[in-house]
């Protein structure tokens, strides 16, 4: 079997396009919001991104899940710094954080 696509298939598109469509379906509509989720690791850094995940954006309030209570405390302590960093990178999409500890699965 050939690794080539059969004729008539649509060309491959970047994953960010699919993510944008999915976020719009969840009513996270604009490109800057999409950038918030797709660029999170680059903007906040590896240490924060490894332990904190943006879940959704509601009226400029970012819901973030963290891996444990210590990270919840750390994010609350760093909130003003993180907000300034996000504002510099993405504009004024986020005014505040709600930090939640992720439930074990």
Helices (H), the chain: 15-25, 31-38, 40-44, 46-51, 69-90
**What are 70-76's contacts with CB under 8 Å, separation 24+?**
71/101, 72/99, 72/100, 72/101, 75/48, 75/99
Torsion sign, CA atoms 83, 84, 89, 90: positive
- pLDDT at 35 (0 to 100): 82
Look up the CATH architecture of domain 15-101.
2-Layer Sandwich (3.30)
Candidate from 51-55, 61-65, 72-76, 100-104 with smallest mean pLDDT: 100-104
pLDDT tens readout for residues 53-62: 999 999 999 9
| Model confidence, pTM | 0.65
Q: What is the pLDDT of residue 33?
A: 57
Among the residue ranges 19-28, 64-73, 91-100, the one predicted with the least confidence is 19-28
State how far the alpha carbon of 11 is from the alpha carbons of 21, 24, 52, 80, 103, in Å: 17, 22, 34, 43, 39
pLDDT cut 90: percent of the chain above it:
53
* pLDDT of the residue at 66: 95
Q: Band of the pLDDT at 7, cuts 50, 70, 90? A: low
CA distance 5 to 47: 39
């Amino acid at each position: 079997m050939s690794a080539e696509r059969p004729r008539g298939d649509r060309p491959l598109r970047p994953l960010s396009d699919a993510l944008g469509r999915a976020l719009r379906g969840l009513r996270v509509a604009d490109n800057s919001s999409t950038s918030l989720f797709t660029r999170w690791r680059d903007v906040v850094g590896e240490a924060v991104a490894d332990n904190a995940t943006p879940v959704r954006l509601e009226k400029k309030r970012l819901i973030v899940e963290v891996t444990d209570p210590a990270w919840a405390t750390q994010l609350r302590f760093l909130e003003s710094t993180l907000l300034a960093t996000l504002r510099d990178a993405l504009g004024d999409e986020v005014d505040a954080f709600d930090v939640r500890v992720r439930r074990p699965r």
